[in-house]
Amino acid sequence: MEKIIIIMVDSLRQDHVSFYNKGISPFKEVKACKTPNIDEFAKHAVVFENAYPGGLPTLPVRYELMTGQFTLPYRGWGPLNPEEITISEILRREGYICGLVADTYHLFKPGMNYHKGFHSFQWIRGQEYDAYICSPPKKRKLDDYIKSNFTEQWKLLVQQYLSNTDEFNDEEDYFTARVVSESIKWLERCRAFKNILLWIDCFEPHEPWDPPEGFDTYTDPNYRGPKLILPMGGNVKDWATDEEIKFIRGLYAGEVSFVDYCLGKLFSKLEELGYYEDSIIVLLADHGHPLADHGKFLKGTDRLYNELLKVPFMIRFPECSPRTTKALVQFHDLLPTILDLLGLENNVCSMHGKSFRRVLFGEAEEHRRSIISGYYESVPLVGSHELTSERCIRDKRWSYINRPTGQPDELYDLVLDPFEQKNLIDENKEEAGRLASSFGSYFKPMKRIIKGIQGVYELKYGGII
């Protein structure tokens, strides 16, 4: 194995990949999303059911993947600093040609530095509300994409996206299609090199959910309301009807379908050029995306459920024996694993992550006993100056969510209740306590006292309840 190709997609829920969902939709009113091209890739890969990010969202995840370091206890959203050592810098020193193709505009905002160490990098501009086009859209009217109860700031964000995409005429103009097209060109040009790394970073199916014509087959054709491509994140019942919620969920599924279609072209080219024969190919998402499963759209510190945390994660390599594994891994384990597969494991001694090579080769079914995930910090509670940060600790069976002061913690049985509807915190405090004790005060605000539904607690200075 001499070549590495990492395919990162943004905000792709595991239950919207049909290899995982087996035709079962999380929403009764929207048909199950189908992803035939990802499914075909998965048939030839080691597929992980329990691969989790540590620190959320977009940039902390990339940091973990690119450095093999954990972010959650000490690092939030921020740039790659000059002294930090990335996958591209490590492999560059080992003689690899390293390329990056991305439309994830957070990577290339001024000062973010996520292209550090790459020989070549190509940015596809205009995603989401990238400050790209300053003129108002001419082809589409803003009023067709918003509601009167949207905030003025939110309306401006929608307008920015419409401006950025105003000149789109067909599916080839859309972002993922362009990322794939440029990635294929890079792979063709660099096929002759013995050692390469290509990092492909697709921002879709991140919102706004605006699939090209022909890929919106998951929405009701009789719907006549506004095309809410960028929903707000507050309590959904405050601003959306049931019909609108259904429509938005359909838009997301359509966006996923388009991403799968584009990846199909990439997979075909990888096979045609012979990359399947000598490459480690990783396909993953940084996180999922809440679709009002628990009352809210969009990501948030109070939404640490399967819809946000469970992602597709699969690795294909020449010696691969395809299978599905339930082994628990975290994203900062990926870089040590890649280096281990390449015979460069002597580079990983200072990394937080640890190689799961033995899982890939079927020599082990366990890697981690539990994982922890969350946001580094969030906004202060109402009436408080204290920053809150929620944490989710889970194993293969249980998911424990540590809530801020005054809110009950949550515990879910992921086997019997995969949609996390019944909080078992009072019935199973022992399980919650076991998980809570898996990670110490280093991961504040984790605490070993479990707050039940009926409990009222006060946070003392220093983090002890």
Spell out the domain ranges in the chain.
3-360, 377-443
Give the residue with greater pLDDT, 72 vs 158: 158
Q: What is the pTM of this model?
A: 0.92
Handedness of CA 33, 60, 199, 341 (dihedral sign): negative
Tell me the mean pLDDT in the region 312-326. Answer: 96
Supply the pLDDT for residue 446. 47
Q: Options 3.40.50.300, 3.40.47.10, 3.40.50.720, 3.30.1120.10; which CATH number does 377-443 get? A: 3.30.1120.10
CB–CB of 415/424 below 8 Å?
no
Supply the pLDDT for residue 463. 32
Angle, helix 58-67 to helix 334-341, in steps of 10 degrees:
30
CB burial of residue 208 (10 Å; 0-12, 13-18, 19+): buried
β-bridge partners, 374: 55, 391
Beta 196-202 vs 120-123: how paired, if at all? unpaired
Cα separation, 260 vs 34, in Å, equals 9
CB–CB of 118/199 below 8 Å?
yes
Cα separation, 353 vs 345, in Å, equals 12
Tell me the mean pLDDT in the region 304-313. Answer: 98
Per-residue pLDDT of 446-462, as tens digits, reads 444 556 554 433 333 23
Tell me the mean pLDDT in the region 71-86. Answer: 90
Which tokens in the block code for residue 117?
């160490």
Cα separation, 84 vs 130, in Å, equals 26
**Short-list 390, 360, 397, CA closest to 451:** 390
Helix (H) or strand (E) holding 284: strand 279-285
State the average pLDDT for the chain: 91
- Per mean pLDDT, which of 64-78, 310-324, 377-391 is the most reliable? 310-324
Cα separation, 50 vs 138, in Å, equals 45
Task: Answer whether the bond into residue 57 is a cis peptide, omega within 30°.
Answer: yes
CA 18 to chain centre: 17
**Short-list 4, 11, 3, CA closest to 255:** 11
Q: For a pLDDT cut of 90, what percent of the chain falls above it?
A: 84
**Roughly how many angstroms between the first and final C-alpha of the chain, as a whole number?**
51
Question: For residue 171, what is the DSSP state?
Answer: G
- How many residues would you count in the chain? 465
> Which CATH architecture fits 3-360?
3-Layer(aba) Sandwich (3.40)
